[in-house]
Amino acid sequence: MALPAPAAEAASEQRACLRCHGMATLAYRDPATGDIVNLALNEKTFGHSVHGELACSHCHEDGYESYPHSPDVSAAELNCVQCHEDHPENTDRVDFTVIDQEYQASVHARSDDSEAAGFNCHSCHDPHAFRASLLGRDIPDIVAYDNQICLSCHEELRDAFSTSHAWLPNRDKHWASVRCLDCHTPSRDNGRPVSHEILSKEQSNANCVNCHSQAQGLLSRLYQYRSREDIEEKGFFAKAVFNQAYIVGMSRNPLIDRLALIIIGLTVLVLAAHGYGRYRAYQSLREQQATAANEGDKQ
């Protein structure tokens, strides 16, 4: 099947670029820092990313026609916000002007730590690999993928002896069930799944009730994917009965859910049968009394 012209042109351009950037060993040494800079791209990973259908020149525009590229061009900083502002039709849930404002208020932008110097969009969102959390993906997959972004810098948290989050009961279970962002960003009911205003540890949520309650913020954040999926697949009634937006961190056994429904159903049937039996007994008694009265009148 032939691709539409823009898609075909993008695919052709990608193939041309990947002739070099598809080599796993493509790299150079940064003359300023002495660090080895990896220039290799995984074609499959890029193809499944949010930018996988774009031509490379959408972002890498001027000066990339010659090979190898000029060091001045390669060092140019790419501005995600400026590019995405040119496509307002994509800002229904992802408004990059708002994202930029949130980021400027975040701990990453305000930190004086030398390790935070040069922090930008690419520090978390690899433009050649990033995938958005989409409806239908399993919650554990979303949690693992998003948390890996944080852990790529905060790798000290992987240490089993780390005292970080020591106050949190069942710390590892929480980390496997909820995203770092769900506690380390402000909860706002603005129709957007998550804020880019990363909070400091002092400002982050440490109140269990904020998640472990029916009015939890996770319903409109992490669990928005599961809630909508359940409505589409099982209908609203199933969502209401089984409470698919379940409290994160609690053990859930579908067999027990179904057993509970069976018990409730049997209880209703027993009560209905008992009520019907009493009604029939009352009717029988009335009939006996009426018969006895009629016989008394005849005598």
* Domain assignment present for 219: yes
Q: Which carries the bigger pLDDT value, residue 34 or residue 88?
A: 34
pLDDT digits (tens, 9 = 90+) for 49-75: 888 888 888 888 777 777 777 777 666
218 or 16, higher pLDDT: 16
Q: How many CA atoms lie within 13 A of 70 on its CB side?
A: 10
Task: Single out the residue in 123, 144, 178 at which a domain terminates.
Answer: 123
293 located within any domain: no
Two tokens, residue 128: 């050649």
Is residue 5, in this structure, part of any structural domain at all?
yes
Is residue 182 situated within a structural domain?
A: yes
Tell me which residue has tokens 């990453």.
Answer: 108
In the three-class reduction of DSSP (H, G, I as helix; E, B as strand; rest coil), residue 195 is classed as: coil
Task: Decide if 291 is inside a domain.
Answer: no
pLDDT band at 262 (very low <50, low <70, confident <90, very high): very high
Q: How far apart are CA 243 and CA 241, in angstroms?
A: 6
pLDDT digits (tens, 9 = 90+) for 177-213: 888 988 898 876 555 667 889 998 888 888 887 777 6
pLDDT-based confidence at residue 219 (cuts at 50, 70, 90): low
Total count of domains within the chain: 4
Say how far apart CA 78 and CA 120 lie, in whole Å.
Answer: 10
The least confident of 12-26, 47-61, 185-199, 266-280 is 185-199
Residues 46 and 66 grouped into a single domain: yes
Q: Cβ distance 100 to 108 under 8 Å?
A: no
31 and 101 in a single domain? The answer is no
Q: Are 249 and 221 in contact (CB under 8 A)?
A: no
Specify the residue for token string 């240490």: 159
Residue 97 belongs to domain spanning? 80-123
In a domain, 294, yes or no: no
**86-125: per-residue pLDDT in tens?**
665 555 556 788 888 888 999 998 888 777 777 888 888 8
Is the same domain home to 136 and 153?
yes
DSSP code string of 121-143 = HHHH--TTT-----TTS-HHHHH
Alpha helices, DSSP H, located in the chain:
5-21, 43-47, 71-74, 80-85, 96-104, 107-110, 121-124, 139-151, 171-177, 180-183, 224-242, 254-298
- In-domain check, residue 290: no
Amino acid symbol at 127: P
